[in-house]
Structure 1
Amino acid sequence: MRPVRSGLAAAFGLLVPAALGCSRAASAANLDIAGLSQYGMGSQANSQEQVTSITQLSDVQPTDWAYQALSNLIERYGCVAGYPNGTYKGKQAMTRYEAAALLNACLDRITEVTDELKRLMKEFEKELAVLKGRVDGLEAKVGQLEATQFSTTTKLKGLATFVVGANAFSGSAINTGANTVNRAPNSITGARRSPVALPNATTFNYDVQLTFDTSFTGKDLLRTNLRAGNFGDSVFGGEPHALGLSELEIAFEEDCGTGVDCGDVVAIDKLFYQLPLGSGLTATVGARVGQEDMLALWPSVYPADTILNVMTVNGAGAAYNKNLGAGAGLWWEKNGFSISANYVATNGDVGSPASGGLANRNAGGTGSVQIGYAGEQWGLAGIWSYVQPETEFVPGTTPFTHSAIDHNPNAKTNALGLSSYWQPLQSGWWPSVSAGWGINSTSYSVPQRRGSLSTSQSWMVGLQWTDVLQKGNDFGFAVAQPVFATALTGGVTPNDGNYVWEWWYKFQVTDNITVTPALIYLSRPLGENTPAGQSFSQFGGLVKTSFRF
Structure 2
Amino acid sequence: MSNFRWNYRSILFLLSLLDILAILVFYPIKSQAELPKSDVSTVEVKKPPEAVVNQTVETSIPPLTSKKARNPERVTPVSQLLEVAPVTNKKTTNNSAEQVTSVSQLSDVKPTDWAFQALQSLVERYGVIAGYTDETFKGNRSLTRYEFAAGLNAALDRLNELIATSTTDLVKREDLDTIKKLQEQFSPELAQLRGRLDSLEMRTAKLESTQFTTTTKLVGRTQIVFSSLLAGNNVVTKTPAPRNITLQGSTSLRLNTSFNGKDSLGITLSGGNIGSLGQTRTGLLGTYEGRTADNSSITFAPNTITLGGVRYRFLATPNTQVNIYALSDGASEIGLSGPINPYFESSSATGANGISRFSRRSLVYNYGDSGPGIAILQGLGKQLQFGIAYSAPNGNNPTPNNGLFTGRYLALAQLIYYSSNKNLRLAATYVNTYSPPNTIGFSGTNFGPAVGSNLVNSTVAGVGTVANLYGLQAFYQVNSRLAINGWVSYGVHRYLGRGDANAMDWAVGLAFPDLFSEGALGGVLVGMEPKLTRLSPNVDLGAGAGQADKDTSLHVEAFYQYKIGDNIEVTPGLIWITAPDSNSSNPDSLFAWVRTVFRF
* Structure 1 length-normalised TM: 0.69
Question: How far apart, in 2, do the equivalents of 1:344 and 1:525 lie?
Answer: 31
Instruction: Judge conservation of contact 2:448–2:458 (CA < 8 Å) in 1.
Output: no
2:437 paired with 1:398: no
**Equivalent in 465, 468, 471 of residue 515 of structure 2:** 468
Query: Residue type matched to 1:301 in 2?
Result: P
2:542 paired with 1:520: no
**Equivalent in 458, 470, 476 of residue 422 of structure 1:** 476
Bigger RCO of structures 1 and 2 (CA < 8 A, at least 6 apart): 2
Cα drift, residue 539 of structure 1: 0.9
Instruction: Judge conservation of contact 2:296–2:302 (CA < 8 Å) in 1.
Output: no
- Superposed, which structure 2 residues align to 1:46-57 within 5 Å? none
Q: For 1:101-154, what per-residue CA distance to the aligned partner results, in whole angstroms no more than 9, with x for missing partners?
A: 993344444455446x43xx76x89xx96x888766655544333222222221
Instruction: Judge conservation of contact 1:330–1:341 (CA < 8 Å) in 2.
Output: yes
Shift in alpha-carbon separation, 1:66–1:324, aligned structure 2, 3 A: closer
Q: For 1:343-399, what per-residue CA distance to the aligned partner results, in whole angstroms no more than 9, with x for missing partners?
A: 111111222214x22233xx2321111111234222211111012342484321131
Question: How far apart, in 1, do the equivalents of 2:239 and 2:394 lie?
Answer: 29
2:469 paired with 1:434: no
- Superposed, which structure 2 residues align to 1:52-451 within 5 Å? 67=124, 103-111=172-180, 113-114=182-183, 117-118=185-186, 139-170=201-232, 181=234, 183=236, 194-195=237-238, 198-232=241-275, 235=277, 239-243=281-285, 244-253=288-297, 255=299, 261-298=300-337, 299-303=340-344, 305-313=353-361, 316-334=362-380, 335-354=382-401, 356-360=402-406, 363-375=407-419, 376-389=422-435, 390-391=446-447, 393-403=449-459, 409-423=463-477, 427-428=480-481, 431-448=482-499
Shift in alpha-carbon separation, 1:137–1:152, aligned structure 2, 3 A: same
Matching residue of 1:27: none
Shift in alpha-carbon separation, 1:3–1:158, aligned structure 2, 3 A: closer
Instruction: Judge conservation of contact 2:269–2:306 (CA < 8 Å) in 1.
Output: yes
Q: Partner of 2:301: helix, strand, or coil?
A: coil
Which entry has the higher C-alpha Rg, 1 or 2?
1
* Structure 2 length-normalised TM: 0.64
Aligned residues: 429
Question: How far apart, in 2, do the equivalents of 1:161 and 1:464 lie?
Answer: 22
Shift in alpha-carbon separation, 1:196–1:349, aligned structure 2, 3 A: farther
Query: Residue type matched to 2:471 in 1?
Result: G
Shift in alpha-carbon separation, 1:54–1:364, aligned structure 2, 3 A: closer
Question: How far apart, in 2, do the equivalents of 1:286 and 1:226 lie?
Answer: 15
Query: Residue type matched to 2:413 in 1?
Result: V
Q: Partner of 1:292: helix, strand, or coil?
A: helix
Instruction: Judge conservation of contact 2:354–2:559 (CA < 8 Å) in 1.
Output: no
Cα drift, residue 212 of structure 1: 0.8
Question: How far apart, in 2, do the equivalents of 1:137 and 1:469 lie?
Answer: 45
Q: Partner of 1:302: helix, strand, or coil?
A: coil
2:527 paired with 1:480: yes
RMSD (Å) for aligned C-alpha atoms = 3.6
Instruction: Judge conservation of contact 2:368–2:391 (CA < 8 Å) in 1.
Output: no
Gaps of 5+ in 1: 12-52, 76-98, 175-180, 184-193, 256-260
Gaps of 5+ in 2: 1-7, 20-109, 130-138, 140-167, 347-352, 436-445, 538-545
Question: How far apart, in 2, do the equivalents of 1:336 and 1:274 lie?
Answer: 22
Q: For 1:470-493, what per-residue CA distance to the aligned partner results, in whole angstroms no more than 9, with x for missing partners?
A: 211111111121111222223756
Cα drift, residue 164 of structure 1: 0.5
Instruction: Judge conservation of contact 1:291–1:321 (CA < 8 Å) in 2.
Output: no
Percent identity (aligned): 21
Q: For 1:11-53, what per-residue CA distance to the aligned partner results, in whole angstroms no more than 9, with x for missing partners?
A: 9xxxxxxxxxxxxxxxxxxxxxxxxxxxxxxxxxxxxxxxxx9
Query: Residue type matched to 1:220 in 2?
Result: D
